[in-house]
Structure 1
Amino acid sequence: MKKILDLITEELSGAFAASGYDASYGRVNLSNRPDLCEYQCNGAMAAAKAYKKAPIQIAEDVVGHLKDSATFSMVEAVKPGFINMKLNCEFLICYLNQMSAEKDLGFEKTAHPKTIVLDYGGPNVAKPLHVGHLRSAIIGESIKRIGRFVGHNMIGDVHLGDWGLQMGLIITELKKRRPELVYFDPSYTGEYPAEPPFTIHELEEIYPAASARSKEDAAYKEEAMEATYQLQHGNQGYIALWNHILNVSVSDLKKNYEKLNVTFDLWKKESDAQPYIPDMVQYMKDNGYAHISDGALVVDVKEDGDTREIPPCMILKSDGASLYNTTDLATIVERMKLFHPDEILYIVDKRQDLYFTQVFRCAKKTKLVEEDTKLTFLGFGTMNGRDGKPFKTREGGVMRLEDLIGDINNQMFKKISENRNTAEDIDARETARIIGLSAIKYGDLSNQASKDYVFDVERFTSFEGDTGPYILYTIVRIKSILKKYAAQGGTLENLTIKEPSNESEKNLMLSLTGFIHAIETAYAEHAPHKICAYIYELANAFNSFYHETKILGEEDQAKKEGMLALLLLTRNVLETCINLLGFEAPERM
């Protein structure tokens, strides 16, 4: 079904045309003065110059053609030329009942579905997820869900870092500690063990120890670089170790991403792109795209009109080694071959802007992608602590994501326990987990992705204000009312929304009509914060209605059923939206 703004705009456009003016002036917006009207059209102001008439005269002409409209209960021209409108309740009720009856609350899937690959993971194997991985995962997951709701084929890829120096460091450190392992015996020709020679916890200790040693011991680093080279050139023992590292790491990563309610369709790795590199490099050479500069193979990507320095995109170093650029370009080649996407969207730290400018320009210039393939960089800001600096542990280190989630879940459990008769509630821990996830995700997603924000645990876990727990509390409040009505013997089947009994009920109705617009805008702008803003407004509208109205105490059964139908729609809209943000609501709080 159409957005309500589109329906009203069609009405105004028709009135402009009937009055002898161009229909394009009939665009309608939400009023920024809700005390005066619900919707407003400023087209008469813009038309005044073109038609050499006073804007109020144009507005009055248009209003004259709307006097008998069934859409409005009030439409008036106001100096200097505004057209103010209020909706007829019958029109509004009809629209909401249609929303309630239709699939996806009346949201129509796109007529032109696209295939879009999203790169929104990027963790390195053998390292635990930390808070620096939070935004990419949360924003990417939400954009994936919104895109699927709109009707596109969204393919999420974790894109693991598994092929760089960190592998050589781990292998070297493991060799120092356990030289007797068969992986280090060049004469060994048997089957390698099926079980890994380390646990995830040992692996997570090995890498930082190796990394620290390599910064102080040049010979050790040289050995690690040689191990990396050996791995990448087919050393069977090292490849067997590498597979163990992958299996142990990926299993742990999946477990931790699951705690965030984040999933990926693809668990592709940097190494998956390696087979594409030789042919890609040769192609760039053969077609004159790449040239040697200071011994390195580069592609010039500077363009006329650049206001900043855009260095060449380096394809191979002077020693012939590949770089991240090389791997990312080869990954684009792989994605084009496997999925032929209309768009590849990268959700990455905004400080990577220059890097992705180079990679995208190189991919376009060398025709690794088709001319109409979109390469999009969605750069996100930093998650900071209250001190305005990147979020750290109390000791000043980088906080593990697992620890952050655990801390917030414990805080939520404490708050829930304080509000219930006993802390031994069997579902209290699960409820705390659900609410804790809403606090984390909503706290992040309610901010515009490109902006830095302060991760304030106290504020994000509050049940008041613009927070995830407040949204969930609103949903649970609605569920409670519906359950009470059902427990009293009432049925929630075949209810229809009816005439509003007060202004707050009509305001709730008007807020519900913004659902389709909110989803469309969030998708078009890659902006989950638009959905957050919408459901916060909707939750406020519901709570105002709730506090001013006796719903179950209403004696008029028809009125009561109408209000319950409105509650059902409000719950469904809120739950649909939080699902698109990547969390859910508990049954009680």
Structure 2
Amino acid sequence: MKSILEIMADELRPLFSARGYDEKFAMVKVSNRPDLCEYQCNGAMAAAKQYKKKPIDIATEVAEAARDCSMFSEVNAVMPGFINLRISNEWLADHMEKMAQQEKLGLNEESEPKTVVIDFGGANAAKPLHVGHLRSAVIGESIQRMARYMGNHVISDVHLGDWGLQMGLIITELQERKPELPYFDPDFKGEYPAEAPFTIAELEEIYPAASKKSKVDEVFAEKAHQATLRLQEGFAPYTAIWNHIMNVSKKDLKRNYDNLDVHFDLWKGESDAEPYIPGLIDDLVKKGLAVESQGALVVDIAEESDTREYPPCIVRKSDGAALYATSDLATIIQREQDFHPDRYIYVVDKRQELHFTQVFRVSRKAGYVKPETELTFLGFGTMNGKDGGPFKTRDGGVMRLEYLIHDINEEVEKKIREKGRVPEDEIAETVRRVGLAALKYGDLSNQATKDYIFDVDRFTSFEGNTGPHIQYMDVRIKSILTRYAEEKGAAAAQAAVIRPAESDSEKKLQMVLAKFGEAVESAWNEIAPHKICAYMSEVSDAFSAFYLDNNILGETDENRQKGFIALIRLTSRVLETCMDLIGVKAPDHM
């Protein structure tokens, strides 16, 4: 379904062409002076230069012809050469009704759906999720929802950090604490225990203790390094411990991600890329791309068009160890074999930009991806406290994500109980949904690449540009629809159709709803969830103005009331679709 701007341009193109002007000048945009007009065509200004005529003369010719178009209620040519347009209320109501009849509300899905791999940057196994993991989770989840809604085939991968020195540190610390375990008995034969020798709480304490010890104890650090190498060589006892670490970690990570309503198709990690690394190194050497430099193997990624200096990508250290770049390149080879993606999107801290520039360039130089494959790095900014610095706990530590969620929910519950509108048996679920909206909208309403201040009080407010406010608007609409159906019957509610607007606020709401498809397509094309949030805010404001202008349930004109009902029903569908695209649901009461 074409947008209103596209339809307007379609109407104006033949009018320009019939008068000897190029159709390209028939572009229409939303007016920045709504007091003068709703839409505007400025093509006569550019056409005047090409055709050596006064802009107002061209605008007048086209405007006179456009007055016969049924979609316009008003067309005026104004100095120095603008064509001001107002849309017909009858045409707009018909357009709204057509939109309401479509499952995806007039959205134009991808004409050529793509296979898209979304990499969430990877939390580390054996460590709890902290606030630093929030952005990749909520931004990535929104992106995968938008990608699917647009008709693409999506493979999302949490891509855990599960194969580095941290594993050797944990194994070595575990051996010092529990040397009697069979994994450390060289004479042990048979099956290793199915039960992990630690709980998630113990595991999360073991790693920081081991990491701290390795910084002051050289002997311990060397043991950890050797344990890491033995694990990566496939030493059976350490592999068994590693499996325990992964099983315990994944269970806890999944619980935390579920609390955020964030989900992945794949729970892969760096370890899954390990088998591909030897072949990768050999291939880069054979192609003459990887060369020795001070004992390490590096790939030059510099290009003639570069305006800055890029260091070479190190794919193997002088001691033979692989690096993150090696692992990410091997992962691309694995994904190419398994999925043949058309596009990759990496949702990672923006400080990793150089790393991914190196990985992308090596992938292209080596031919691991097709020339037309899109490699997108979405680097996000940091979440900061009110002091402008990194978000911390009161004692200065890094806050666990589950504690942040708890603090948000605690504040939300306090506000919900103060209002006293939610039945007791719904409070827990309402708090969960509203808390998630506060958290996700608070993050996603900011442009992903920018840093932002995390403000619990502002994000949990039921007023202003917040997630709870958006939810409250939808809850209000659903309450009206329910009461209308109870009074008039479900059949009457379903039979209601959108009518031509009779007030400015009614028309404004219709015009904002008509932008749904454009908003979603733009957000996806630019990988910009904040545009969904901005659009929801615009819809909510337009509905609020309409609601204040009209006593919907008290309207005595039955047909007019039905028009109101049909319009707010569409408003609810638009809001709920947008909320779903950022991973949020409205409760039944607020």
Please tell me the TM-score bracket, short chain as reference.
over 0.9
Amino acid of the structure 1 residue aligned with 2:559: A
Give the aligned partner of residue 373 of structure 2: 373
Q: How far did residue 13 of structure 1 move?
A: 1.7
Deviations along 1:450-484, one digit per CA (max 9) or x if unpaired, are 11111111111111111101100000010011111
Residue 569 of structure 1 is matched in structure 2 by 570
Give 1:156's aligned amino acid.
Answer: S
Deviation at residue 109 of structure 1 after TM alignment: 2.2
Aligned to 1:473: 472
Matches within 5 A, 1:1-400: 1-400=1-400
Contact 1:121 1:133 in 2 (8 A): no
Q: Which runs of 4+ in 1 moved over 4 A?
A: none
Once the 2 structures are TM-superposed, how far is the Cα of residue 18 of structure 1 from its aligned partner?
1.9
| Superimposed CA distance per residue, residues 101-160 of structure 1 (whole angstroms, 9 cap, x where no aligned partner) | 112112232220110100014100000001111111111110111011111111100000
Q: Using the aligned pairs only, state the percent identity.
A: 58
1:182-236 alpha-carbon deviations (Å, 9 max, x no partner): 0111221210111101111111111111111111111111110011011111111
The aligned counterpart of 1:579 is: 580
Q: Counterparts of 1:401-416 in structure 2 under 5 Å? A: 401-416=401-416
CA contact (8 A) 1:18 1:65 kept: no
Q: Which residue of 2 aligns with 1:455?
A: 454
Distance 1:421 1:79 in 2: 55
Q: Secondary structure at the match of 2:76?
A: strand
**Residue 519 of structure 2 corresponds to which residue in structure 1?**
518
- Deviations along 1:278-337, whole A, 9 cap, x unmatched? 111111111111110000011111111322221110010001110111100000100001
**Which is further off, 372-381 or 572-581?**
372-381
Whole-angstrom CA distance in 1 between matches of 2:566 and 2:190: 69
Q: Which runs of 5+ in 2 are unaligned?
A: none
Alpha-carbon distance in 1 for matches of 2:130, 2:242: 22
Determine the structure 2 residue equivalent to 1:542.
543
- Compare 483-492 and 248-257 and name the one that shifted more: 483-492
The 1-side partners of 2:187 and 2:75 are apart by 89
SS at structure 2 position matched to 1:348: strand
Measure, in 1, the Cα distance between the counterparts of 2:481 and 2:224: 63
Report the TM-score, using the length of structure 2 for normalisation: 0.98
Distance, in Å, in 2 between the alignment partners of 1:36 and 1:72 is: 15
In the alignment, is the contact (CA less than 8 A) between 1:19 and 1:65 conserved in 2? no
Question: CA distance change for structure 1 residues 154 and 421 in 2, over 3 Å: closer, same or farther?
Answer: closer
SS at match of 1:297: strand
Q: What is the root-mean-square deviation in Å for CA atoms of aligned residues?
A: 1.0
Q: Distance in 2 between matches of 1:189 and 1:241?
A: 15
Q: Deviations over 1:562-587 (max 9, x none)?
A: 10000110000000000001111001
TM-score for the superposition, normalised by structure 1: 0.99
Q: Which runs of 5+ in 1 are unaligned?
A: none
Q: Does 1:431 align with 2:430?
A: yes
Distance 1:329 1:469, change over 3 A: same
Paired with 1:357 and 1:96, the residues of 2 have a C-alpha distance of 45
* Matches of 1:47 and 1:40, distance apart in 2: 15
CA drift at 1:373: 1.4
SS in 1 for 2:68: coil
Contact 2:295–2:318 (Cα < 8 Å) also in 1: yes
Q: What letter matches 1:431 in structure 2?
A: T
Greater alpha carbon shift after TM alignment, 413-422 vs 130-139: 413-422
CA contact (8 A) 1:97 1:496 kept: yes
* Cα pair 1:284 1:366 within 8 Å, conserved: yes
The residue identity in structure 2 corresponding to 1:548 is: D
- For 2:551, give the aligned amino acid: K
Residue deviations 1:418-466 (CA, integer Å, cap 9, x gap):
00078x8121121011001001111111111111111111111111111
Work out the CA distance in 2 between the residues paired with 1:218 and 1:42. Answer: 72
What code does the residue aligned with 2:465 have?
D
Q: Does 1:418 align with 2:418?
A: yes
Q: How big is the shift at 1:90?
A: 1.1
What is the Cα deviation at residue 348 of structure 1? 0.5
CA distance in 2, matches of 1:439, 1:272: 36
- SS for the counterpart of 1:427 is helix
CA distance in 1, matches of 2:110, 2:357: 29
Native 8 Å contact 2:121 2:346 kept in 1:
no
| Post-superposition CA distance 1:496-530 (Å, at most 9, x none) | 10122311111101110000000110010000111
SS of alignment partner, residue 241 of structure 2: helix
Hey, what's the Cα distance between the residues in 1 that align with 2:305 and 2:149? 39
Given that 1:505 and 1:545 are in contact with CA atoms closer than 8 Å, whether structure 2 keeps it comes out as yes
SS of corresponding position for 1:84: strand
